[in-house]
Structure 1
């Protein structure tokens, strides 16, 4: 019997969509005490790696459109976690900088990755292999576009 190429369970896009929803849901109760949504957490992760950073560079790092990033940054600024100001090296660019409160939140966030690993019940090696495979899939999708 021929394989049905349109079977839902055979679709990479379906598996990725469901996995993304389920993994994001695993983060939700862990992020609530920090007052962060998952997209805000991703922004903070990038800023904990490098701050200050131009908003455009941050959008590229997060694979987000600037129009999607802007409201995230506004909410983080309202919470006192970041500041947004014109980049003194280029007035056309917006620089995003962690505040002391945003920097301090990193210590609380350090408990998130091990808690997610525990919630998922998968070994760290398996999760790292999965992440590497997804990174390769992202690169392949981008090069094919």
Structure 2
């Protein structure tokens, strides 16, 4: 089917856009995660920050931002809310007071056990085994990295 200019309108069908498939999949992920994260008292960005910190805390705000792909001006208010919830402590670096380091509290560490089921639950939701999930994840990381390489100076 063509529009009045004779252009092929299948080009502009949302189901043909990779970017819309990723965007709408992200939206679906967030909707599935929300009730699970609500039970933990976390938003999705907070969960991502916690996952990064569970791998090793003591990161600077900048280092954490690099890991979770968030700018400092977005991450700082998120970390303040996490600190108010008793999940993390923000501490000025003793060697460089311009740097703020993020440390998990005991409560933040304990939350990991409650969150252990989340990665497996998502695999179950999309009916993928561990090998398929790993392959899909690696494919998406490759796409992300190629796109980011196009915008970095």
TM-score normalized by the length of structure 1: 0.93
More helix by share: 1
Q: Which residue of 1 aligns with 2:98?
A: 92
Structure with higher Rg: it is 2
Q: Which residue of 2 aligns with 1:119?
A: 125
Q: Which residue of 1 aligns with 2:73?
A: 67
Gap regions ≥5 residues in structure 2: 2-7
Deviation at residue 33 of structure 1 after TM alignment: 1.2
Q: Distance in 2 between matches of 1:30 and 1:36?
A: 9
Q: Which residue of 2 aligns with 1:136?
A: 142
Q: Which residue of 2 aligns with 1:10?
A: 16
| Aligned: 1:38 with 2:36 | no
**Which range is displaced more, 46-55 or 1-10?**
1-10
Q: How many residues align?
A: 145
Q: Which residue of 1 aligns with 2:5?
A: none
Deviation at residue 120 of structure 1 after TM alignment: 2.3
Q: For each residue in 1:27-51, what CA deviation from the matched residue of structure 2 results, as whole angstroms up to 9, or x when unmatched?
A: 1111111111111100000000111
Deviation at residue 3 of structure 1 after TM alignment: 7.8
